[in-house]
């Protein structure tokens, strides 16, 4: 059995891990000796800009005590200019310092830290392939990252991410499931263009912990936005369109919404109301899950919440379906005896049923369709938070939800209009009476399937 | 009979309903399956292979824990990989990560022996010896047949000065599992009791037994090098340190060992350069003190004083982090700082972990504070097991001398110089002078 085999393998690994060597001679619980550095690169048409940020902890700072600030800065400049190399199309290029600053923010135990920011530039025309290697401070513990930024007049494809979760080495992610970044090299492919940057998601970013099941590109749309390029309107339209297309991928309650409208003989008004409910609940759902994820990211992963949301959604669908079915059956029973009359005044009962379409049921249906936030929407929100672009992220979620709801509403309208046409085509009364009930059964069955699927994930 | 038109519509509509219903099921089932696939079920292939590097293991277990957050054993394995990372780099940020992962694992499975054993290892690494012992014993209660709790229990008992109990547990451990982890502890135990040859023998066994990671083997090779050094065999010591550096390039404890051999061979400049490199990478007080004392011995008091000042800063940082019981810092204060403060630190160290090491620190700090008679009682306690450790015997000898007990002083100083007369560039010559002045 896979599980048993895995357990025994784990047992061995854990046992090996626990065979630690005598603790007395082990590492000392002292953490203030890291040297952290971040290299930010952007390639433009006629130059390459490099911004190097250094954050040095208390102990290495203390080791430099007594030296003048100018001497310390000069030493750092030498180290950086010696060991930070930029290669353009195979040739190493020289970097000129265009700005330098040094500060000593306060650290622990009354000691100081060192913060150095160095701006460097290389005059390079029409670079095709740029390689950056940060060999500074070898062998030292710390956060080491290379980050790319879009340039002017170029299209850049970068091997290094464009995101920096540290906000320029000011705060470090404390996620217990990811390691500090340790990247010293990056390669960039450059073409003439309009300032586009294509960069991978950073490993260890919090956003990566969300499992993007749909495998869609919405998060990629956001990455472009965060890099400062593209118009806001275009972005929102893109989010809207993406939401609309996204609604067509499985698992967005389209069938349930359609079945509900058929089952309750809803009108166009109801279809729109349903769409609006989905938008609101989906937006709220993403925001709430995003907040929970951010607040509890130390303890809970979004993946753990999804099964519960699935369960809640499934149960809600079952309840709503059962309600519709009950109403249908009651109506059927009421019309049961005067079979012959069915045609004449049955028309009244079947055609519009706002009275049997309860708003409560409609809200419940909309809520259940929107309750499960799309993982890709959550990814976008968390990415926005990580990039300090919260407002943009929220706005895009709203647009995304609107697009989602638009598709569902359109589908609902189609069903409603189709129903009208069917009634005009004189659907036989027996079937006309049975169809809503069948729809209700479909809703209940769909709810059961959702619920049953949600259960094993809860273990 | 031909079907009337309405009947045809009727059939079509019914068929369409069924198709719609089927489609709905298909869609729902598909999305359901998708959800189940990405749920908490991981294949064996996702776990790091045995023999993977520590970084590979960390990445593998991080992904596995993300995929199956409810699996406490995976959490324990990830924490183990984090603790190994600290041993390799000295980066204590991984302690905090291991701590979070283990807290979560304990809340999921409070009686899993792997989780408890890893928690004990973390507690010991943070010098919480009583806490480590508690976890180790709980792990053994959870699974009396497992080996994993034993290293935790043995190390905790040794650090807490409970040598009899430690001997019993260690015997059981080495009988059950004769391997690197048990041999290296047997070696340390023999060393504590003054049997350096037996200790070197056991450590050689640990080296040849081989370990799980290159660092583990490099570590026991480094310890073997130290034992050779203590027996005055500088060539084999240098060779052992060199082998450790080959096995794990840049390994800081082994680089410090080479610096120590350099200093003992009189190559002071090379020793200082090496120590500087070590301190730049991993400024543990032990290495900073070694650098400063080598500089003092080389007649460079300004540089030595400046480097030793770093230990004072580290002490402040440890205090800011709530750590106040370090033996190394107590000895530093006794030798180079405030003797009163050294006494206070050593007293706290003794009450937290009454081992021979804390007894030695307390005795030496008392002597430095002008109380050699009190110090001598503690020095005797430090040597109660029969240790032939050069530094311990040097402290005892100088203490006895200050207390006016010349015979005892000579006895201790001879032991200090018997193994390796160049055990320290600063204290070796002092021990010799003291011995010559007496005889």
- Quick: pLDDT tens for B143-178: 999 999 999 999 999 999 999 999 999 999 999 999
Q: Which range (A256-260, A409-413, B427-431) has the least confidence?
A: A256-260
Higher pLDDT, B344 or A2: B344
Comparing A356 with A67, which gets the higher pLDDT?
A: A67
Query: Can you give the pLDDT at residue A141?
Result: 85
Is A24 in CB contact (< 8 Å) with chain B? yes
- Work out the pLDDT band at B338, boundaries 50, 70, 90: very high
Residues in chain A closer than 8 A to B100 (CB atoms): 174, 176, 298
Question: Looking at chain A, which residue has its C-alpha nearest residue B48?
Answer: A13
Residues of B in contact with A60 (CB under 8 A): 280, 283
Task: Kindly identify which residue of chain B lies nearest to residue A438, measuring between CA atoms.
Answer: B17
pLDDT in tens, B305-324: 999 999 988 888 877 776 66
CA-based nearest distance B279→chain A, Å = 10
In a mutational test of the A interface, the residue from B11, B19, B39 whose CB has the highest number of chain A CBs within 10 Å is B39
CB-closest option in B35, B91, B149 to A141: B91
Judged against a pLDDT cut of 70, whether residue A229 lies above it is answered with no
Q: What are phi and psi of B328, to 5 degrees?
A: -55, -40
Q: For residue A6, name the pLDDT band (cuts at 50, 70, 90).
A: very low
* Section A149-161 average pLDDT: 89
Partner-chain contact A2 B147, CB within 8 Å: no
Q: Stretch A1-8: mean pLDDT, rounded?
A: 36
Better-predicted residue by pLDDT, A151 or A24:
A151
Chain-chain contact of B92 with A26 (C-beta, under 8 angstroms)? no
pLDDT score, position B122: 93
- In A84-230, which residue ranges form alpha helices assigned H by DSSP? 218-226
Rg from Cα positions in chain B? 29
Tell me the sheet residues that pair with A41. Answer: A50, A148
Chain A residues 258-297 with CB within 8 Å of chain B? 258-259
Please check the confidence at residue A375 and state whether its pLDDT lies above 70.
Answer: no
d(CA B382, CA B354): 10
Point out the residue among B35, B67, B219 whose CB comes nearest to the CB of A310.
Answer: B35
Q: Supply the pLDDT for residue A232.
A: 67
Question: Percentage of residues in chain B with pLDDT exceeding 90?
Answer: 75
- Of B58, B53, B155, B146, nearest to B97 by C-alpha is B58
A4 — contact with chain B (CB < 8 Å)? no
Model pLDDT, residue A213: 30
Kindly list the residues from chain A whose CB atom is less than 8 angstroms away from the CB atom of residue B179: 19
Assign residue A126 a region (left: φ > 0; alpha: ψ between -120 and 50; beta: otherwise).
left
Confidence of residue A126 (pLDDT cuts 50, 70, 90): confident
> Which chain A residues contact residue B118 at CB under 8 A?
14, 17-18
From chain B residues 147-166, the ones with a CB under 8 A of any chain A CB are 147-149, 151-152, 155-156, 158-159
Task: Name the least confident of A114-123, A175-184, B7-16.
Answer: B7-16
Quote the tokens at residue B251.
């390994």
Q: What is the pLDDT of residues B9-51, one digit of tens each?
A: 444 444 444 444 434 444 443 443 333 333 333 444 467 777 7
- A427, B73: Cβ pair inside 8 Å? no
Band of residue B435 on the pLDDT scale cut at 50, 70, 90: very high
Residue B303: the pLDDT is 94
- pLDDT value for B14: 40
A21 pLDDT above the threshold of 80? no
**For the packed helices B163-176 and B180-192, what is the interaxial angle rounded to 10 degrees?**
150
Residue B378, pLDDT > 80, answer: yes
**A32 band by pLDDT with thresholds 50, 70 and 90:** confident
- Gap from A88 CA to chain B (nearest CA, Å): 31
Q: Are A114 and A54 in contact (CB under 8 A)?
A: yes
Q: With 90 as the cut, is the pLDDT of residue A272 above it?
A: no
Band (pLDDT 50/70/90 cuts) for residue A302 is low
Lowest mean pLDDT among A14-18, A87-91, A131-135, A301-305: A14-18
Residue of A15, A215, A216 for testing the chain B interface, max B β-carbons within 10 Å? A15
> What's the confidence (pLDDT) of residue A31?
59
Which pLDDT value is given to residue A304?
Answer: 62
Q: CB distance B73–A450 less than 8 Å?
A: no
| Overall average pLDDT of the B384-411 stretch | 96
Closest in A22, A139, A301 to B184, CB measured:
A22
**A230: distance to nearest CA of chain B, Å?**
33
Mean pLDDT rounded to a whole number for chain A: 72
Closest CA to A365 of A414, A406, A419, A316: A316
Proportion of chain A above pLDDT 70, given as a percent = 59
pLDDT-derived band at A240 (thresholds 50, 70, 90) equals confident
DSSP at A96: E
Please state, in angstroms and rounded to a whole number, the distance separating the CA atoms of residues A359 and A276: 13
CB contact under 8 A, A255 and B320: no
Residue B377, chain A, CB below 8 Å: the answer is no
Instruction: Work out the average pLDDT over A25-51.
Output: 78
3-state secondary structure of B91: coil
Lowest mean pLDDT segment, chosen from A209-218, A279-288, B373-382: A209-218
Burial of B35 (0-12, 13-18, 19+ CB in 10 A): buried
B283–A contact, CB cutoff 8 A:
yes
The token pair at A272 is 């729109």
Assess whether pLDDT exceeds 80 at residue A385: no
Q: Is B89 on the interface with A (CB under 8 A)?
A: yes
Distance between CA A80 and CA A103 in Å, rounded? 17
Task: Give the B window 101-130 contacts with A, CB below 8 Å.
Answer: 101, 104, 114, 117-118, 120-121, 124-127, 129
Chain A residues lying within 8 Å of B13, measured CB to CB: 422, 427, 431, 435
| Residue where the block lists tokens 């009682």 | B377
pLDDT reported for residue A458: 59
Nearest alpha-carbon partner for B389 in B404, B399, B379, B378? B379
A407 pLDDT higher than 60: yes
- Residue of B209, B280, B222, B213 lying closest to B53 (CA atoms): B213
- Give pLDDT, residue B24: 44
- Look up the pTM and report it: 0.64
CB-CB under 8 Å, B38 with A59: no
What distance in Å separates residue B71's CA from the closest CA in chain A? 10
User: Mean pLDDT over residues B265-279, rounded?
Assistant: 95
Q: Which pLDDT belongs to residue B34?
A: 35
Lowest mean per-residue pLDDT among A266-280, A431-445, B21-35: B21-35
| Cβ separation A30–B92 shorter than 8 A | yes
Average pLDDT of chain B to the nearest whole number:
88
And the tokens for A136? 């500074």
Mutate which of A6, A8, A19, A181 to test chain B, going by most B C-beta atoms within 10 A? Answer: A19
| pLDDT the model gives residue B109 | 94
The helix/strand/coil state of A67 is coil
| More reliable by pLDDT, B96 or B46 | B96
Q: Which helix (H) or strand (E) holds A247?
A: none
Q: What is the pLDDT of residue B58?
A: 94
Range B90-106 average pLDDT: 90
- Tell me the C-alpha distance between A95 and A300, whole Å: 45
> For residue B107, what pLDDT band results from cuts at 50, 70 and 90?
very high
pLDDT of residue A3: 37
Least confident interval from A105-114, B103-112, B136-145, B254-263: A105-114
The pLDDT, as a whole number, for residue B16 is 47
Phi, psi torsion values for A101, nearest 5 degrees: -145, 155
* ∠ Cα A36 A38 A44 (to 5°): 170
Give the pLDDT confidence score for residue B163 in this predicted structure.
96
**Rounded to an integer, what distance in angstroms lies between the CA atom of residue A343 and that of residue B44?**
64
Alpha helices by DSSP H, listed for A229-267, are 232-246, 254-264
Residue with tokens 């390796």, as numbered in its chain: B420
Of the ranges A133-147, A176-190, B371-385, the best mean pLDDT one: B371-385
């Amino acid at each position: 059995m896979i599980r048993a085999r895995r357990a025994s393998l784990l047992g061995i690994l854990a046992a090996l891990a626990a065979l630690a060597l005598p603790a007395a001679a082990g590492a000392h619980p002292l953490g203030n000796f890291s040297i952290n550095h971040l290299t930010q690169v952007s390639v433009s048409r006629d130059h390459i800009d490099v911004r190097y940020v250094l954050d040095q902890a208390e102990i290495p700072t203390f080791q430099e005590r007594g030296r003048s600030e100018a001497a310390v800065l000069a030493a750092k400049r030498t180290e950086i200019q010696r060991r930070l190399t930029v290669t353009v199309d195979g040739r190493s290029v020289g970097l000129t310092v265009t700005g330098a600053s040094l500060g000593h923010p306060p650290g622990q135990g009354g000691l100081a830290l060192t913060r150095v920011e160095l701006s460097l530039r290389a005059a390079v025309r029409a670079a095709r392939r740029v390689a950056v290697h940060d060999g500074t401070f070898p062998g030292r513990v710390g956060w080491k990252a290379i980050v790319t930024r879009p340039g002017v007049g170029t299209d850049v494809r970068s091997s290094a991410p464009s995101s920096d979760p540290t906000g320029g080495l000011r705060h470090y992610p404390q996620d217990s499931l990811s390691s500090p970044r340790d990247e010293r090299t990056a390669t960039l492919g450059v073409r003439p263009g309009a300032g586009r940057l294509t960069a991978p998601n950073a490993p260890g970013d919090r956003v990566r912990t969300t499992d993007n099941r749909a495998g869609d590109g919405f998060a990629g749309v956001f990455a472009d936005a965060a890099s400062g390029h593209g118009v806001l309107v275009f972005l929102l339209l893109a989010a809207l369109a993406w939401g609309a297309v996204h609604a067509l991928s499985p698992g967005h309650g389209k069938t349930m919404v359609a079945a509900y409208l058929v089952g309750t003989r809803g009108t166009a008004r109801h279809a729109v109301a349903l769409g609006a409910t989905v938008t609101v609940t989906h937006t709220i759902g993403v925001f709430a899950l995003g907040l929970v994820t951010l607040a509890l990211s130390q303890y809970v992963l979004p993946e753990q919440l999804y099964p519960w949301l699935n369960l809640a959604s499934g149960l809600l669908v079952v309840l709503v379906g059962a309600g519709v079915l009950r109403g249908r059956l009651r109506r059927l029973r009421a019309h049961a005896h005067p079979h012959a009359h069915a045609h004449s005044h049955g028309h009244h009962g079947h055609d519009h049923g706002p009275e049997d379409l309860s708003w409560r049921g409609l809200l419940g249906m909309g809520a259940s369709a929107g309750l499960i936030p799309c993982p890709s929407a959550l990814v976008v929100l968390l990415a926005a938070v990580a990039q300090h672009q919260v407002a943009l992220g929220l706005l895009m979620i709203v647009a995304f939800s609107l697009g989602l709801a638009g598709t569902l509403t359109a589908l609902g309208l189609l069903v409603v209009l189709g129903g009208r046409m069917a009634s005009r085509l004189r659907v036989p009364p027996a079937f006309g009476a049975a169809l809503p009930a069948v729809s209700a059964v479909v809703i209940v069955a769909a709810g059961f399937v959702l619920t049953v699927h949600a259960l094993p994930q809860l273990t | 009979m031909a079907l009337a038109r309405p009947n045809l519509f009727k059939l079509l509509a019914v068929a369409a309903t069924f198709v719609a219903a089927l489609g709905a099921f298909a869609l729902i089932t598909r999305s359901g399956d998708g959800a189940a696939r990405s749920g908490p079920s991981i294949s064996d292939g996702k776990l790091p292979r045995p023999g993977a590097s520590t970084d590979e293991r960390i990445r593998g277990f991080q992904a596995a824990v993300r995929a199956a957050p409810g699996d406490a054993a995976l959490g324990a394995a990830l924490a183990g990989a984090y603790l190994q990372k600290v041993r390799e780099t000295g980066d204590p940020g991984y302690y905090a990560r291991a701590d979070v992962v283990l807290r979560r694992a304990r809340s999921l499975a409070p009686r899993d022996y792997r989780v408890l054993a890893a928690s004990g290892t973390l507690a010991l690494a943070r010098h919480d010896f009583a806490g480590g012992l508690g976890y180790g014993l709980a792990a053994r209660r959870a699974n009396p047949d497992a080996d994993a709790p034993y290293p935790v229990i043995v190390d905790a008992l040794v650090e807490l000065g409970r040598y009899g109990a430690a001997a019993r547990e260690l015997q059981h451990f080495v009988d059950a599992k004769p391997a690197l982890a048990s041999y290296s502890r047997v070696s340390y135990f023999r060393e504590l009791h003054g049997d350096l040859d037996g200790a070197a023998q056991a450590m050689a066994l640990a080296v040849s037994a081989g370990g799980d990671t290159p660092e583990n083997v490099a570590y026991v090779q480094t310890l073997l090098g130290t034992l050779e050094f203590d027996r005055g065999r500088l060539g084999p010591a240098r060779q052992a340190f060199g082998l450790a550096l080959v096995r794990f390039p840049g390994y800081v404890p082994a680089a410090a060992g080479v610096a120590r051999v350099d200093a003992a061979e009189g190559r002071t400049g090379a020793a200082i350069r090496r120590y500087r490199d070590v301190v730049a990478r991993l400024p543990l007080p032990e290495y900073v003190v070694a650098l400063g004392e080598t500089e003092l011995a080389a007649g460079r008091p300004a540089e030595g004083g400046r480097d030793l000042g770093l230990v004072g800063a580290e002490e402040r940082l440890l205090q800011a982090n709530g750590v106040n019981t370090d033996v190394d810092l107590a000895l530093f204060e006794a030798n180079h700082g405030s003797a009163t403060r050294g006494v206070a630190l050593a007293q706290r160290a003794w009450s937290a972990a009454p081992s021979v090491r804390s007894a030695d620190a307390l005795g030496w700090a008392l002597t430095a504070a002008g109380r050699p008679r009190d110090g001598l009682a503690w020095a005797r306690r430090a040597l109660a097991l029969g240790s032939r450790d050069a530094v311990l015997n040097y402290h005892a000898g100088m203490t006895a001398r200050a207390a006016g007990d010349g015979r005892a002083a000579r006895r201790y100083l001879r032991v200090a110089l018997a193994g390796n007369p160049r055990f320290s560039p600063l204290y070796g010559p002092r021990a010799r002078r003291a011995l010559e002045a007496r005889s």
